[in-house]
Structure 1
């Protein structure tokens, strides 16, 4: 199947490259056998590719065919060195958008060239001349050749709608055979492919140039890099198409390099991995590298006795085939992706550069623009200042987010200068990178603003602090972007001494109010659309029963958000077995009966004061704080857990002890198992649990390691870590 696809394509690419026609078949044979046997991508098929036609045509025009073969050999040696040095994956660092645009530019160039051939003329030396000379070529068109070429284009376009059984025969082969047959049947006087002898006569030894060594070296590097990138990207694409072994990219470079050395040494075109043939290989059911090798052998078997048949093919037919191939290299999905991701400028500059300058300059322009855009996106900061909300005075709020570097200085200067003098300013720094230049500007402005009678409160809520710019070379930190996630305590970002420039009183409500200010500025706008959907109804998935301990944050542990957890908290995460606690009972009834939750979770934790108090039992009255009788009364519900614990002889306690957990933590785990068992037997839960509609799960949160363990109160009574594989 791949042989039938490769045959007309190899001839067409040789024609488009201005190379000897049979050089395309030589490259197909070597690419199939050598690259197929030695490469690191088992199902990738290699051969002459449309992506190098423009480069090869330019090299042939400058050096001739023999020197171009030497360039192919040297490019192959360079590929081998790249593969041995294990830099295969480094080639993938080139922006895919630049590669897509490069191929699209090559496609446009091929189409512009072959339109002239289709009309009975010859292609011009540049894209601009191909465009300007097109009207004159249309007037002098060879109508017979044009009809043959249009027939090929029509067959290729219509082939996608052919029945599946017929589509098993490759469209390019059908189009070329039908067009050649029509030309022969009607005895059309159209130009046909000219061969200079047989395949053996086409073998060519390479030759070195007599001068222009700089251009020679540039050609070697260009061919090596483009062939490598195209081959590696094709290998990655083939991996996505099948579930077999993954590609070894370094070995693939070595295999491609050896194939190019062999192809150039005997007069073949440069070789790359080709996505059209590779996808046909996978679709046809290939499983091993033998498929690629046999495709090359089939080309050899055909070419030795039957290469002369190629002289029956009209050049207009191959021109029509190449026009379709060129247009297919311009993919609408890539253009839409470029528009959606903001890379349309990179795509446009690259394709224009490839078409109107040359391939290397177009790629370099695209890469330069892609790098510049990346630097701009990564290194710029979002800076805005406005009067503070929810205040009765003239306070201002300045927010700096992202990466604050010297590139942001113009915007930073302008924003800081817009703040009126003599007022209080809250400067909120939520940055992941800051350099000395930005720090200097902020420090100078703060000193000047305070000298004018104003005050500045700096709130550093990002992963990087201002002083880091002075302690050493700036480093990017990938911590929590801000404090709206609900897992960072007030003490890590709130100034314990001042608020709005004044001494803070030691009143806990002030910390809450400060947190609310940050919530209104940063979190509320983010969650408002979601909360609007929950405003009038909610359907929680889980009843989450846990301790009142402030160190336990259910949404952080479960990576959940508003509306997901119906949470009940009490001292010791207890479920009274006597069902006399109306608060817990009401929560279970509402969760199971009204919300129809699918799971109930009981989550205990390490260093639990409730379990510690339960272990100690009633103390001396004088040592108990006021109101302690209420705690002792509530902890009577921990009695079943204490009985099951039985001084550490419970299987879960034994397992926890072997893992290094102390007695209090062991009791906490046993208590979780007891609460799960109580819930399973609860009248409101039992029936749904037995039917499999309601799961009851026990968790233990180890505060020191931030690890969650699964407590399984089964016959085995075991503990297990919860991680990606477990989930």
Structure 2
């Protein structure tokens, strides 16, 4: 035996065998109850449990999912049994398995995930209500009616004519199920369904209660091959597809849910659908119920510690051994106890957790309509109703448009923002909002849309033309994509939605924002331009308007809080170079940085000539009034001031003020020359830029208050170097002669 085989055997014995026994104890009572709710022989539930465990467990794509008879299919099976008979229903199950097998081989499993979970949860809740209503009549000593509404209408009369012993058994079963989870953990090793049936059977036997015993006339020994159903072949085909799709979707959604419960291999959904198809073909041929992945048994399997598919397979083996060796014990179970178990299961299928989940996504109407339609109309009709409503709601979300109009505040301009997918469905609301804007007014129109069809374009275009003819102006800015600009120019627009551009574009240079006026192609060239001429001062004005529209509402709460006092934590000294944006490269916001900018990010030494009070004043105010914790000097690659130093003042020859200012960089140049170990090359400038940052940190220590705070540990000096070409910020250590500080 190899090492891998030995470890697999040990893992199976340690984890999978105990888990399979737990699932077996859960599966037996549930399989019997589902068979009873389906109107099928009780042995059919055990057959489905065996086949679901062995075949689907061995061939499926999930290593820990457990398959077997599913309560969600009981209504369909009951209707098929009533219409075609049991043996024909088995043939429908076999054919449905063949359909699942083909779909799995065609790798169509992922398509099932397109079904809204709200529909599935609503369907299961509806099935649960129908099961509970029908089985409640058996608990009360009567017989279920043909429909859920009939069961509901007959319930008062059934309550009035209750039979004592049957009601007692049912109430006892429900009481055990409800109280079992509150018992000590050692007792709860026995699953609640099994414990409830055992208690009910023992009490009914001990007190000799007059109850109905389970009938095993359709036992495992009376097998007959399925027969073809007789009737309209359209309805038969529809029945086959319904069983195949419902069982397949439930199994695949169960696989996805189970994947979130364990850390093992992920499920192969196509293989899972293929395994379910094979299991349904075998189950139908042997006279069993339709098979599907079941969340209750799968959850029990995971919680019991299962690690491989061996647990699911072994649970099927244990069910088979029980049916063959101890099947006679099933006859001791009161039918009313099984019915009470089904009532309890049906109530639990209306899961409040599912309702909370769909409520968070606004899909409660889909859940409720599906559930009510299943109860009132039937399973297939309920699913169709839920799918139709889900499709309508999805279409509504996809085509929803938001139009917000803001009246002029300071700049005298109306601001209109349109968001969403702009289609013909949103045109009525769009035109209503636009027509409310007064004539001859200036309008900023922001289009934050991911799609625009022709009807929407015509609505905006016509309004714009009319508004401009009345003497108003319209400036259009498309934040997401240029749908309007392309349509106005006569170019072909895209037929599908495109990935959105990032809406926060404050950091982009003006030239990169594509904020240009759009001239309608239908307008003559004599019309005045829509926007202002493209001059730098006009760009500043446009930028201020953009700030008022987009950024100001976001930062106003912060600035209001900072309006009376600033508390920056950093003094940030950097170059005046336009490519260095302190808030961008440090990801800081309002109130974080007390900033000083000058040519070459220089810090004049104490007493240096020419005398400069501006930088010294900022240092004093930052350290002694604001109480900053850090002073940062940030240089950058390709600094023009350092190039002037490196040229010996030649490049600053015609700039006398620049020549005088660069004297504060002579110590940096001296350091550079001292450390140079060869002829100057293309890297000399960046080397000087880095040394200059380190030198300015040393210059800061010449100021007494700064040096005292650094020595006391209340102030840190940090050097940064911004490589513009690579957009990288690097930390620079202080020069060896300075005090080392932590960053």
TM over 0.5: yes
Alignment match of 1:420 (pick from 428, 438, 445): 438
The answer to whether the 8 Å contact 1:427/1:459 transfers is yes
Question: Which residue of structure 2 lines up, in the alignment, with residue 112 of structure 1?
Answer: 133
Alignment match of 1:373 (pick from 374, 379, 393): 393
**Match status 1:64 vs 2:85:** yes
User: Do the aligned partners of residues 502 and 218 (structure 1) sit closer, same or farther apart at CA in structure 2, a change above 3 Å counting?
Assistant: closer
Alignment match of 1:460 (pick from 455, 471, 478): 478
**Match status 1:122 vs 2:143:** yes
Deviation for aligned residue 1:544: 6.8
**Match status 1:76 vs 2:97:** yes
**Match status 1:131 vs 2:152:** yes
**Match status 1:629 vs 2:659:** yes
**Match status 1:324 vs 2:353:** no
The answer to whether the 8 Å contact 1:484/1:519 transfers is no
Question: Which residue of structure 1 lines up, in the alignment, with residue 426 of structure 2?
Answer: 408
Deviation for aligned residue 1:688: 6.5
SS at match of 2:484: coil
Please say which of residues 371-380 and 107-116 is displaced more in the overlay. Answer: 371-380
Following the alignment from structure 2 to structure 1, what is the Cα–Cα distance between the partners of residues 81 and 429? 52
Question: Which residue of structure 2 lines up, in the alignment, with residue 520 of structure 1?
Answer: 548
User: Do the aligned partners of residues 540 and 391 (structure 1) sit closer, same or farther apart at CA in structure 2, a change above 3 Å counting?
Assistant: closer
User: Do the aligned partners of residues 517 and 191 (structure 1) sit closer, same or farther apart at CA in structure 2, a change above 3 Å counting?
Assistant: same
The correspondence of residues 325-404 of structure 1 with structure 2, limited to 5 A, is: 325-391=345-411, 395-404=413-422
Larger Rg: 2
User: Do the aligned partners of residues 62 and 520 (structure 1) sit closer, same or farther apart at CA in structure 2, a change above 3 Å counting?
Assistant: same
Please say which of residues 377-386 and 403-412 is displaced more in the overlay. Answer: 377-386
User: Do the aligned partners of residues 298 and 589 (structure 1) sit closer, same or farther apart at CA in structure 2, a change above 3 Å counting?
Assistant: farther
The answer to whether the 8 Å contact 1:676/1:698 transfers is no
- Count of residues in correspondence between the two structures: 693
**Match status 1:90 vs 2:118:** no
Alignment match of 1:511 (pick from 539, 554, 576): 539
Following the alignment from structure 2 to structure 1, what is the Cα–Cα distance between the partners of residues 396 and 675? 61
Deviation for aligned residue 1:601: 7.9
The correspondence of residues 24-39 of structure 1 with structure 2, limited to 5 A, is: 24-39=45-60
User: Do the aligned partners of residues 496 and 55 (structure 1) sit closer, same or farther apart at CA in structure 2, a change above 3 Å counting?
Assistant: closer
Deviation for aligned residue 1:133: 1.5
SS at match of 1:206: coil
SS at match of 1:246: coil
Following the alignment from structure 2 to structure 1, what is the Cα–Cα distance between the partners of residues 582 and 655? 29
The correspondence of residues 47-58 of structure 1 with structure 2, limited to 5 A, is: 47-58=68-79
Alignment match of 2:456 (pick from 438, 451, 457): 438
Please say which of residues 333-342 and 284-293 is displaced more in the overlay. Answer: 333-342
Write the deviation string for residues 172-192 of structure 1: whole angstroms up to 9, x where unpaired.
111111011111111111112
Deviation for aligned residue 1:24: 0.9
Write the deviation string for residues 298-344 of structure 1: whole angstroms up to 9, x where unpaired.
11111111112111111111111111211112121222333333222
Alignment match of 2:320 (pick from 278, 291, 300): 300
TM-score by length of 1: 0.84
SS at match of 1:444: helix
User: Do the aligned partners of residues 197 and 99 (structure 1) sit closer, same or farther apart at CA in structure 2, a change above 3 Å counting?
Assistant: closer
The answer to whether the 8 Å contact 1:577/1:637 transfers is no
Deviation for aligned residue 1:510: 3.6
The answer to whether the 8 Å contact 1:432/1:464 transfers is no
SS at match of 1:414: helix
User: Do the aligned partners of residues 261 and 609 (structure 1) sit closer, same or farther apart at CA in structure 2, a change above 3 Å counting?
Assistant: farther
SS at match of 1:518: helix
Alignment match of 1:309 (pick from 329, 339, 346): 329
The correspondence of residues 91-240 of structure 1 with structure 2, limited to 5 A, is: 91-196=112-217, 198-201=219-222, 203-240=223-260
Following the alignment from structure 1 to structure 2, what is the Cα–Cα distance between the partners of residues 351 and 694? 66
User: Do the aligned partners of residues 124 and 493 (structure 1) sit closer, same or farther apart at CA in structure 2, a change above 3 Å counting?
Assistant: same
Question: Which residue of structure 1 lines up, in the alignment, with residue 499 of structure 2?
Answer: 478
SS at match of 2:186: helix
User: Do the aligned partners of residues 210 and 710 (structure 1) sit closer, same or farther apart at CA in structure 2, a change above 3 Å counting?
Assistant: farther
Deviation for aligned residue 1:638: 4.8
Write the deviation string for residues 661-701 of structure 1: whole angstroms up to 9, x where unpaired.
x7766776787899999999988568869xxx999796755
User: Do the aligned partners of residues 66 and 513 (structure 1) sit closer, same or farther apart at CA in structure 2, a change above 3 Å counting?
Assistant: same
The answer to whether the 8 Å contact 1:36/1:289 transfers is yes
User: Do the aligned partners of residues 197 and 608 (structure 1) sit closer, same or farther apart at CA in structure 2, a change above 3 Å counting?
Assistant: same
SS at match of 1:194: coil
Following the alignment from structure 1 to structure 2, what is the Cα–Cα distance between the partners of residues 292 and 644? 77
Following the alignment from structure 1 to structure 2, what is the Cα–Cα distance between the partners of residues 612 and 302? 90
Following the alignment from structure 2 to structure 1, what is the Cα–Cα distance between the partners of residues 601 and 328? 87
Write the deviation string for residues 85-139 of structure 1: whole angstroms up to 9, x where unpaired.
2232222122222222222222112112211121122222222112111112212
Ranges in structure 1 where 5+ consecutive residues have no aligned partner: 715-727
SS at match of 2:477: strand
The answer to whether the 8 Å contact 2:476/2:518 transfers is no
Ranges in structure 2 where 5+ consecutive residues have no aligned partner: 1-21, 520-527, 609-614, 735-743
Alignment match of 1:263 (pick from 239, 258, 283): 283
TM-score by length of 2: 0.82
Alpha-carbon RMSD across the aligned residues, in angstroms, is 3.9
Deviation for aligned residue 1:595: 5.9
User: Do the aligned partners of residues 491 and 44 (structure 1) sit closer, same or farther apart at CA in structure 2, a change above 3 Å counting?
Assistant: closer
Alignment match of 2:650 (pick from 597, 615, 619): 619
The answer to whether the 8 Å contact 1:22/1:199 transfers is yes
Following the alignment from structure 2 to structure 1, what is the Cα–Cα distance between the partners of residues 584 and 245? 47
Deviation for aligned residue 1:21: 0.5
Following the alignment from structure 1 to structure 2, what is the Cα–Cα distance between the partners of residues 86 and 640? 72
Write the deviation string for residues 245-285 of structure 1: whole angstroms up to 9, x where unpaired.
22222222222222222211211111111111111111111
